[in-house]
Structure 1
Amino acid sequence: MLLDGEAWAARFRDFEREAWRLETLPAYNVPQEAEEIRAFKAGERIDPRTHSNSYTEDLRRVRREGKSKGRVHIVTRPLSDYLLYEFMYYEAHAMAGEEIRIMDVTGRSNPLVGVPDFWMFDKREVVLMNYQADGTQISREVYGGDPAEFVEYQRTALTESVPFEEYVKGLA
């Protein structure tokens, strides 16, 4: 089953305990971000301490409700311009309550090679995030099989990664 619109939004509104994402690409081609990326490349930055938008407000709601939202992004250095841009927002998102971790596989084997991007809700439902090679999203598809392998991917990603805040300190 492909997900879009209200059915997709409902996943983030209605999960009971945890929404969790694995990101594997060095860049995502999101047309709505194009202007922000141009501004970032030109030197403009947000202040993560004061940045607020619908995403950060939703993260605060999730926390108030006693739920968690998190992700692990698999990266290699040098980091792409897109990742540097995304990290600027990750800082604001972490401050708003998202549990963000980075799994840097530079110079080592990637234990999750070949695993697709996905969202997992309450360790019960997996939504595969399908992309073209350039990071353009093709579709979001509910995975019909047993989510146990994705729970294991999450466990591996969490074990093999470090908190975002720790990772970026090492970049300075």
Structure 2
Amino acid sequence: MRDHFLRLSAYNAWANDRLYDAVAELSDDRLVAANGAFFDSIFGTLTHILIADRIWMHRLTGEGPTHTNLRDRPFEKLGELWMEREAMDRRIEAFIDALPAADYAGESHYTNTRGEPHHLARQIILTHLFNHQTHHRGQVHHMLSVEGRVPPPLDLLYFALPAA
């Protein structure tokens, strides 16, 4: 289980770096332009991904910044958001690397953003964390296409093939 999540963590950081490299080519105006996306824009969607990761990592560890609103916008510039994204990717990998094997099946008890108590197996939470990022990276990938850019390939296969 640990190796599986370490691979997903490494893939996740790789995909985020590729996507941020691509969106960095856009002007600030295009990054924040409202385009009908659920989180308003490319920048809004990238911010949402990080906010959600902060929430989940706080639930898993009890540490680090957290939020009560998935639409929080604590960053104004892509460079700042990107630095926080890279730090979060390292934090996720370190958490997975340090998690004892037996703890993957263990449950985490948490309160959601509406104040409701819940509990889930850590392996489900981690799977959700990575799947959630993939979902929203796909949205940003599409938004790059709409902007007339050629988005980078982000499939897990492209990450795994060089190591095969």
- TM-score using structure 1 length: 0.23
Larger helix share, 1 or 2? 2
Larger strand share, 1 or 2? 1
- TM-score using structure 2 length: 0.23
